[in-house]
Amino acid sequence: MIEKVKIALIEVFGLEVIEDTQLEGLQPALYIAKDQMENVCFYLRDSEQFYFDFLSNVTAVDDSENGKFIVVYHLASIPYQTQLTLKVQVDKPETEDVLPELNSVSKVWKTAEWHEREAYDLMGVFFVNHPDLRRILMPDDWEGFPLRKNYTDPEYYHEIPVK
Protein backbone atom coordinates (compact mmCIF):
# COMPACT_ATOMS: atom_id res chain seq x y z
CA MET A 1 0.00 0.00 0.00
CA ILE A 2 2.68 2.51 0.98
CA GLU A 3 4.54 2.13 -2.33
CA LYS A 4 1.30 2.61 -4.26
CA VAL A 5 0.60 5.83 -2.35
CA LYS A 6 4.18 7.02 -2.79
CA ILE A 7 4.08 6.52 -6.57
CA ALA A 8 0.73 8.30 -6.86
CA LEU A 9 1.91 11.27 -4.76
CA ILE A 10 5.07 11.65 -6.83
CA GLU A 11 3.02 11.54 -10.05
CA VAL A 12 0.67 14.26 -8.79
CA PHE A 13 3.01 16.51 -6.75
CA GLY A 14 6.53 15.71 -8.00
CA LEU A 15 9.56 14.03 -6.43
CA GLU A 16 10.03 16.70 -3.76
CA VAL A 17 6.72 15.80 -2.05
CA ILE A 18 8.28 12.72 -0.41
CA GLU A 19 11.20 13.57 1.85
CA ASP A 20 11.75 10.05 3.16
CA THR A 21 10.16 6.62 3.44
CA GLN A 22 10.16 4.63 6.67
CA LEU A 23 9.60 0.96 5.97
CA GLU A 24 10.84 -0.59 9.22
CA GLY A 25 8.68 -0.98 12.30
CA LEU A 26 5.01 -1.74 12.77
CA GLN A 27 3.78 1.33 10.91
CA PRO A 28 5.57 2.18 7.68
CA ALA A 29 5.34 5.90 6.97
CA LEU A 30 5.89 8.51 4.32
CA TYR A 31 7.63 11.75 5.26
CA ILE A 32 5.81 14.51 3.41
CA ALA A 33 7.26 17.93 2.56
CA LYS A 34 5.93 20.45 5.07
CA ASP A 35 4.59 22.86 2.46
CA GLN A 36 2.67 20.10 0.64
CA MET A 37 0.97 18.39 3.59
CA GLU A 38 -2.47 20.00 3.27
CA ASN A 39 -2.60 19.38 -0.51
CA VAL A 40 -1.49 15.78 -0.04
CA CYS A 41 -4.21 15.22 2.54
CA PHE A 42 -6.91 16.65 0.27
CA TYR A 43 -5.69 14.36 -2.51
CA LEU A 44 -5.61 11.25 -0.30
CA ARG A 45 -9.11 11.99 1.00
CA ASP A 46 -10.68 12.78 -2.36
CA SER A 47 -8.92 10.19 -4.52
CA GLU A 48 -11.15 7.25 -5.46
CA GLN A 49 -8.00 5.13 -5.49
CA PHE A 50 -7.30 5.71 -1.77
CA TYR A 51 -10.23 7.53 -0.11
CA PHE A 52 -8.64 8.12 3.29
CA ASP A 53 -11.85 9.45 4.78
CA PHE A 54 -10.86 9.30 8.45
CA LEU A 55 -8.08 10.97 10.42
CA SER A 56 -7.52 8.66 13.39
CA ASN A 57 -4.89 10.69 15.19
CA VAL A 58 -2.39 13.52 15.01
CA THR A 59 0.49 13.61 17.44
CA ALA A 60 3.94 15.13 17.70
CA VAL A 61 7.28 13.65 18.74
CA ASP A 62 10.29 15.57 20.03
CA ASP A 63 13.31 14.38 18.03
CA SER A 64 15.86 16.50 19.88
CA GLU A 65 18.81 14.53 18.51
CA ASN A 66 18.02 15.84 15.02
CA GLY A 67 16.68 19.23 16.11
CA LYS A 68 13.19 18.42 14.82
CA PHE A 69 9.65 17.80 15.87
CA ILE A 70 7.90 15.08 13.91
CA VAL A 71 4.15 15.49 13.47
CA VAL A 72 2.52 12.12 12.83
CA TYR A 73 -0.82 11.63 11.05
CA HIS A 74 -2.69 8.32 11.14
CA LEU A 75 -5.14 8.03 8.26
CA ALA A 76 -7.72 5.35 7.59
CA SER A 77 -9.95 4.46 4.69
CA ILE A 78 -13.04 2.93 6.20
CA PRO A 79 -14.48 1.56 2.92
CA TYR A 80 -11.13 0.12 1.75
CA GLN A 81 -10.07 -0.96 5.26
CA THR A 82 -6.57 0.46 4.81
CA GLN A 83 -4.37 2.63 6.98
CA LEU A 84 -1.55 5.03 6.24
CA THR A 85 0.91 6.94 8.41
CA LEU A 86 2.25 10.28 7.24
CA LYS A 87 4.96 12.27 9.00
CA VAL A 88 6.11 15.85 8.67
CA GLN A 89 9.32 17.24 10.13
CA VAL A 90 9.47 20.79 11.47
CA ASP A 91 12.55 22.47 12.89
CA LYS A 92 12.68 22.58 16.67
CA PRO A 93 12.97 26.19 17.85
CA GLU A 94 15.78 27.35 20.10
CA THR A 95 13.35 28.77 22.67
CA GLU A 96 9.74 28.19 23.68
CA ASP A 97 8.90 31.74 22.59
CA VAL A 98 8.98 30.63 18.96
CA LEU A 99 6.62 27.88 17.87
CA PRO A 100 7.23 25.71 14.81
CA GLU A 101 4.45 26.15 12.25
CA LEU A 102 2.58 23.70 10.07
CA ASN A 103 -0.60 24.15 8.04
CA SER A 104 -3.70 22.75 9.69
CA VAL A 105 -5.51 19.88 7.99
CA SER A 106 -8.77 20.73 9.75
CA LYS A 107 -10.26 21.75 6.38
CA VAL A 108 -9.63 18.20 5.20
CA TRP A 109 -10.87 16.32 8.27
CA LYS A 110 -12.94 17.99 10.99
CA THR A 111 -11.42 15.67 13.61
CA ALA A 112 -8.07 17.41 13.10
CA GLU A 113 -9.39 20.34 15.12
CA TRP A 114 -9.14 18.34 18.36
CA HIS A 115 -5.99 16.40 17.48
CA GLU A 116 -4.09 19.52 16.44
CA ARG A 117 -5.13 21.30 19.61
CA GLU A 118 -3.60 18.47 21.62
CA ALA A 119 -0.33 18.59 19.63
CA TYR A 120 -0.27 22.35 20.12
CA ASP A 121 -1.02 22.11 23.83
CA LEU A 122 1.49 19.41 24.71
CA MET A 123 4.28 19.94 22.15
CA GLY A 124 3.86 23.55 21.05
CA VAL A 125 3.36 23.03 17.32
CA PHE A 126 1.39 25.95 15.87
CA PHE A 127 -1.15 24.90 13.22
CA VAL A 128 -1.68 27.77 10.78
CA ASN A 129 -5.33 28.38 9.77
CA HIS A 130 -6.68 26.24 12.58
CA PRO A 131 -10.16 27.61 13.45
CA ASP A 132 -9.72 27.52 17.25
CA LEU A 133 -6.14 26.73 18.25
CA ARG A 134 -5.95 26.88 22.03
CA ARG A 135 -5.03 24.59 24.88
CA ILE A 136 -7.22 21.52 25.29
CA LEU A 137 -5.70 19.58 28.23
CA MET A 138 -3.62 22.10 30.15
CA PRO A 139 -5.02 25.27 31.76
CA ASP A 140 -5.06 28.32 29.47
CA ASP A 141 -2.34 30.08 31.45
CA TRP A 142 0.00 27.06 31.71
CA GLU A 143 3.57 27.86 30.72
CA GLY A 144 5.51 25.50 28.52
CA PHE A 145 4.76 22.33 26.62
CA PRO A 146 4.85 19.16 28.75
CA LEU A 147 5.87 16.65 26.06
CA ARG A 148 9.00 18.48 24.98
CA LYS A 149 12.14 16.76 26.16
CA ASN A 150 13.51 19.97 27.68
CA TYR A 151 10.33 20.65 29.68
CA THR A 152 10.52 20.81 33.47
CA ASP A 153 7.46 20.87 35.70
CA PRO A 154 6.95 24.09 37.62
CA GLU A 155 7.13 23.83 41.38
CA TYR A 156 3.83 25.68 41.80
CA TYR A 157 0.80 26.54 39.74
CA HIS A 158 -1.25 29.36 41.31
CA GLU A 159 0.40 28.65 44.67
CA ILE A 160 -0.54 24.97 44.45
CA PRO A 161 2.36 22.47 44.55
CA VAL A 162 2.63 20.65 41.22
CA LYS A 163 4.81 17.72 42.30
**Residue 34 half-sphere exposure, CB side, CA atoms within 13 Å?**
15
Q: Residue 152 and residue 133: Cα distance in Å, rounded? A: 23
According to DSSP, the β-strands at 29-32 and 160-161 are: unpaired
Q: Which residues contact 131 (CB under 8 A, 6 or more apart)?
A: 104, 106, 113
Q: Give me the residue spans of the domains in the chain.
A: 2-149
pLDDT band, very low/low/confident/very high, at 30 (cuts 50, 70, 90): very high
The length of the chain, given as a count of residues: 163
pLDDT band, very low/low/confident/very high, at 1 (cuts 50, 70, 90): confident
The yes or no reply on domain 2-149 and CATH 3.30.460.80 is: yes
Q: Report pLDDT digits (tens) over 123-152.
A: 999 999 999 999 999 999 988 899 988 887
Least confident stretch, 11-15, 23-27, 76-80: 23-27
Q: Residue 154 and residue 61: Cα distance in Å, rounded? A: 22
**What pLDDT does 98 receive?**
85
